[in-house]
Structure 1
């Protein structure tokens, strides 16, 4: 059995693991779906283990697939550092990177720290804002790279991962179906705020704003205190909060895509943005698998 793990196969594995879709992985990597299947098959042959459980409707990581995530990241990181060292080129310039509030409680800082270590001559300037605000700043030319939720009806951006949205709240919270739903939300143009109001109004449920803040930490504190419920990415549920039980009768809030979006700048800035985007894509599973609780 050939136990070598080719970088191309590992990159494909990570793309499938993060998107849970062979089609989306192929689109992200710019290769054919048949090539994605071939890479996964060869990696499974090399490991002697099944890495994905898949049928015609769903793709999920197996336990061995979950274990491979860490190994794949380690191998690819070492490969990329060696390639950068021997290439003799150093990235330079000021890179204005925007990340949405969703990632405040995740392991994004670890990815940024690794990027700074590998590219010390890049001046990384971080902006943390609501996804909707980051979209506007990117369009205005004030940011070079953004990691945020995709806006409703928008097709732009490179998919990092797709996740379900849940209503979450304190474990002891009880929702009275006869009273307005107490909402904990970001202010406009918050994307999860818009989704919460949209689905409640579509289903004729009354609501009221119990807490609003631009700070995710403040919203989480309000939710832990039992002030209300919030719509949040299932893979990023903060510690101390849980999905609201189905008996509360809240309508399904749907799903969300987390994407990378590039600005219009070229040259050294674009090269630095591409390098950071590659680091985020390679470590994207760390942003939501055990990252936010």
Structure 2
């Protein structure tokens, strides 16, 4: 049975143009017609005309124009999800048929927090666009993966910026977000003194940053829980035996950010970098591009 929208529309439904969708996504991500125009190499007035035609086609206003920026309407937010999926599907189809075949094996290292965030989607899409490439995944700590990369045992790794031994120019920043103090919602660990903290093992950047911040703020603490993986820190928080420094995107109920009135120090942002082994090959570069796009598409 046809939907009310399709029934009300006489004749075939209009098709959405990929170039217009690309323009729409660029404006949504940049929050500005001017910044988006620079990205797509067109004038702001040309972009404005495209969006006007798109709004007329769909019968809905997509952006609210403000003094210094534009923001999506509720209908625009819905379209953004569709637009990203349509552009991705178009890219997959074109790559599958027109790109030269890429073969080989890529050895990819990722920490467990980033692996759980993007890995399933990345591997599924990469398998569709590069069926002749085998991807071997290693999940581990940044320090060990860096050693394996330098030894030629891995081709591509994700790691946290600031890992001991990492040079300043090593890797490309692909993701940034606030690092916050987190604990169990309604828990009491954050109010205890000395403060019980759950930390990663020695050498993880979060550990040094958290301890330095507590020392600088003069807050008494003790390390109540140590784990190689973020899941261990999460378990300690869920049991309400400790609080922990955690990426804000991973703080989900029954966890919550520690209330500001507790007075814990700010931890700033943390950055994820993608590091390539020199000469790793075409297959590795193809997967690197897929990883970068996956992080970019997570941005609001």
Asked if Structure 1 and Structure 2 have the same fold, meaning a TM-score greater than 0.5 normalized by the shorter chain, the answer is: yes
Structure 2 residue corresponding to 1:221, chosen from 235, 255, 259? 235
CA distance in 2, matches of 1:218, 1:272: 33
TM-score by length of 1: 0.76
> Is it true that 1:111 corresponds to 2:122 in the alignment?
yes
SS of structure 2 residue aligned to 1:227: coil
> Is it true that 1:9 corresponds to 2:9 in the alignment?
no
CA distance in 1, matches of 2:67, 2:291: 28
> RMSD of the TM alignment (CA)?
3.8
> Structure 1 residues 265, 52: CA separation in 2 closer, same or farther (over 3 Å shift)?
farther
**Structure-1 residue corresponding to 2:245:** 231
Q: Which runs of 5 or more residues in structure 2 are unaligned?
A: 1-14, 56-60
Contact 2:96/2:129 (8 A) holds in 1 = no
> Is it true that 1:265 corresponds to 2:279 in the alignment?
yes
CA distance in 2, matches of 1:106, 1:139: 25
Contact 2:20/2:50 (8 A) holds in 1 = no
The number of equivalent residue pairs is 276
Cα deviation, residue 235, structure 1: 1.5
Greater relative contact order structure (CA < 8 Å, 6+ sep): 1
> Is it true that 1:121 corresponds to 2:132 in the alignment?
yes
Answer with 147-156 or 135-144: which moved more.
147-156
SS of structure 1 residue aligned to 2:264: coil
> Is it true that 1:172 corresponds to 2:183 in the alignment?
no
Cα deviation, residue 168, structure 1: 0.6
> Is it true that 1:193 corresponds to 2:204 in the alignment?
no
Cα deviation, residue 245, structure 1: 0.5
> Structure 1 residues 236, 143: CA separation in 2 closer, same or farther (over 3 Å shift)?
same
Q: Deviations over 1:221-269 (max 9, x none)?
A: 1110001011111122244211011111100111112232211124xx3
**Structure-1 residue corresponding to 2:293:** 282
Answer with 34-43 or 78-87: which moved more.
34-43
